[in-house]
Amino acid sequence: MESIDGVATYPMISLIIFFAFFVVLFWWVFTASKAHIKEVSELPLEKDNQQNIEL
């Protein structure tokens, strides 16, 4: 690996992508509307209820 020119930049690029992803994810968690979070959290329950009603 030492014979490749600029090989040290790849870990830095990976670290930046990793860090940026989690910063964006952290920002989304704190700015997402509570109504959206509640709606998404109840989706599995709604599917079970719909299946029970159809039977």
- Measured CA to CA, the distance from residue 16 to residue 10 in angstroms comes to 10
Q: Which pLDDT score, from 0 to 100, does residue 39 have? A: 87
- Tens-of-pLDDT digits for all 55 residues of the chain? 667 788 888 889 999 999 999 999 999 989 988 898 888 888 877 665 665 555 5
Task: Report the pLDDT value the prediction gives residue 54, as an integer from 0 to 100.
Answer: 56
CB atoms within 10 A of CB 40: 10
**pTM higher than 0.85 for the full model?**
no
Which pLDDT belongs to residue 38? 87
Task: Round to whole Å and give the CA distance between 25 and 18.
Answer: 11
3-state DSSP of 1-55: CCCCCCCCHHHHHHHHHHHHHHHHHHHHHHHCCHHHHHHHHCHHHHHHHHHHHHC
